[in-house]
Copies of this chain bind each other. A is one copy, B any other.
């Protein structure tokens, strides 16, 4: 099996960190998204949306979307669990994973794409929307701060995929100058702990 990815992009890092926590090695194929290599007919045959990362199995089956790739590996090798073991754990982790992704990471991405015009060859940037997305992203850090005041990790007592998504998104947010604030002491404590895990360098 192999994974098509762009080393510097935030979603592929989520997959690499997830696999590092599982101790799973996979071959990687680099795709230059800035040049649009991901939009070729060959890549669109693997993923109709023309995005990376994409997991390609040995029989040619392709699974795109970071969350879907992680779902596959979690089912293939449940230990250590990163998406919960009991129904309640699975539900709570899925909730935080999604909220961190949609209310923070995606807002950062929209801010980046719409204010910088990075992908203006393939989309119509709307800077006013990008600014709103940046405001939304910055606000969400206060929700994480409150959550981490009473929890060691984002989804509760245990490290999970939600922590991976959050740390990758926070590092990515530097591109639009959104950072952990000085008064976000719990978030900073959590960030320091997560970035000291070996998987953070994957």
What 0/1 readout, one digit per residue, does chain A (42-74) give for beta carbons within 8 Å of chain B?
A: 000000110000010100010111011101110
- Give the dominant DSSP class at A's interface: helix
What 0/1 readout, one digit per residue, does chain A (118-131) give for beta carbons within 8 Å of chain B?
A: 00000110101100
Q: How many copies does the complex hold?
A: 2
Q: Which chain B residues lie closer than 8 Å to A71 at the CB level? A: 90-91, 94
The residue from B48, B72, B88 contacting A87, defined by CB atoms under 8 A apart: B72
Cβ contact within 8 Å between A98 and B65: yes
User: With the chains together, A72 CA to B93 CA distance in Å?
Assistant: 10
The residue from B64, B65, B75, B128 contacting A90, defined by CB atoms under 8 A apart: B75
> Known contacts A88-B61, A128-B129, A132-B124: does B146 contact A99 (CB below 8 Å)?
no
Q: Which chain B residues lie closer than 8 Å to A98 at the CB level? A: 65, 67-68
Residue of B nearest to A72 (CB): B91
How near does chain B come to A199, taking the closest CB pair, in angstroms? 21
